[in-house]
Structure 1
Amino acid sequence: MPAPDFGGLPAYAELQCASNFSFLRGASHADDIAARAAQLGYAAIAVTDECSLAGVVRAHIEAKSARIPFIVGSEFALTNADGSHALRFTALAMTREGYGNLSELITLARMRADKGRYRLATRDLDHPEASQGHLKGLPDCIAILIPEYPANETRLDAQLEWFAATFGERAWVALTLHARAMDDLHRGAIERTAARHAVPVVATGAPVMHVRSRKPLQDVLTAIRLRRPVAECGYDLAPNAEQHLRSRLRLANLYPARALAETVEIARRCTFSLDELRYEYPDELVPEGFTPEAYLRQETYIGAHRRWPAGIPHKVQAQIEHELALIADLNYEPYFLTVYDIVRFARNEGILC
């Protein structure tokens, strides 16, 4: 699919987007979001559901088909030590290592809470426990602070101080403009505070739907989440339909050029692709000092000697060598060692296997 020609409009990458996997918040499928971003000529698209990577595979497949770079990310709400709300931010995986760290952070947060919820604190990122020390600052991930609307400059100042100290040069602050009454005040507070902390400002649309015609559906989702009829939701409903993937002309008329340029700079840094992933078996399957091939060979012959204590028949030995060679050609040793580990555990526990 050839890229549309949009003349001299500034390039833009959407870095903060919720799909329907952000339950009762997003009103579009992840693949629809990727397809629409490509139609609009975006430089890249990220799907950042809250504490979830559930939509990224569908978005990745569609993005490949539409030939638009796809960025894996997620959004988080952090609490203070006393349980009060601290801030919200979006994390984007820059590399495969960053993707692993992001996935582990999501797992950590989800395992602490009941199904459908999560719990994550600022200390998990600035002073994590020893077992999660490698997650300090969420290495190899871009972090984008999401200010409250309208931004309270004093509160934002404290948030950005922590944010910059925790994420360093990987920290940005989002400027999200939805044609609301206090947009100018919001923008001014963000730009002044960001300048004081030397944190760059990046434009985000924070869409929850791929086209504006999904607004009635999004209203219904909001009403369900609030457990009220739509007619009784009042100001809890979005005041307009601006939270969709907007045209680059519309974005160019709303946002400062520098903030738009930062979206492309962040997208350039996020080189990770889900195509890089392959299943990896646990390292602990193989004792120290062994390769998977050597350990499988050893355990195979130990088992064969147990089966034929008087000596392994020549025909059986030839079959073993043939199968070990085939397994080696396919690099399947870890798979067979995994099955062996399961069977050995079951037998030790008296489980029929």
Structure 2
Amino acid sequence: GYNFDEFVKDIGSTDYAEMADMSISEVQDYIREKGLHKVLEPILKNHRYAKIEMQITYNIEGDKEQPYVLKMFNNSIESNDLQQALSIQKYIFKKVLSGDYDKQAVYEQKIPDKPEYAGLQLNKLWLSGLLMNKLWLEKYIQDGDLQEEYCGRIGHFHEMAPENIYIYYNYLYCRILNDPLGDERDMDKFQRNIDDLYDSELSKGTVDALNLKYQFKIIEALDTLDTPHPKLFESLDRIKEIVNIKEASWLNSLKLAYVFMEQQDYKFAVKLLEPFIDEEFVFEELLFTYLSLCSYFPEKMYTNRFVRAMERVKNDYSDRFCEFFEGEKFSIQVLGNPKVKEMYCKTCKK
């Protein structure tokens, strides 16, 4: 190809200035007819160029992939392409969780501390927690690993982007962990905040997890009162609704006890099972679950109900009775109950 405009400028100062008024096709014909190629070559060579098309493929194989993808993420942030940044961030997370990328793929994400980036900041914080074994969201939640600095940052994100539903969810969760219950008015207001999440884009299971957490907090606080508080029964009803328990029965009480056991609330779990121990028929699983729960509370091993439960095991499931005394289920303290010790000596010391 030729840079024709520059050629016109140069040819105008030569003996062939008339070509400056011609079109490019006319110039080409004129040079050909007059045989001027050699004469004009000093001018033509300055305006001749080649068009080159190059296809560049990045080498992102092996350990080159992570820095490349991280660079693409940070470039998306710089160009304010938040959708692209989010897509790349999700890809990075999958790679980190699968072990293909190391922690630098998270820590080196350069995300501004601005409202529009709050969601990306939350994602980075979440995975940073995973990398430090602080598994603290949804199914990864472990309260003991949730440090104040995390909830402080969640609060900061919420201030920046109060409309972000994912940040708001975690903000409420942190409040459940750290804030006092307050009075009934405060509890009702907080419950409405949780209930409103059911109309959001969050899944029902995700909101249920938060709701259950709040109900367990209420029960733990109010179950210490001599007279049951109405809010305690409200929380129990909500839990039953969430776990789909529609009627009172030993089976549903056992199911509900399992829910409390998953939350490590063994005190309330054993309380749910106690009323069924003296019934004419006691399901084997309920009986053994009750006795196992009693191992968390030495004082219960001295009650008459505990003795009656042990007698049922001895009489109905004698092959399993001695297993309780093998060290894994009960401590030696259980033999401090003379009635239990007598059963043990007669049954297991033959």
| TM-score normalised over the length of structure 2 | 0.21
- Name the structure where helix makes up a greater proportion of residues: 2
Bigger RCO (CA 8 Å, 6+ sep): 1
Largest Rg, 1 or 2: 2
- Name the structure where strand makes up a greater proportion of residues: 1
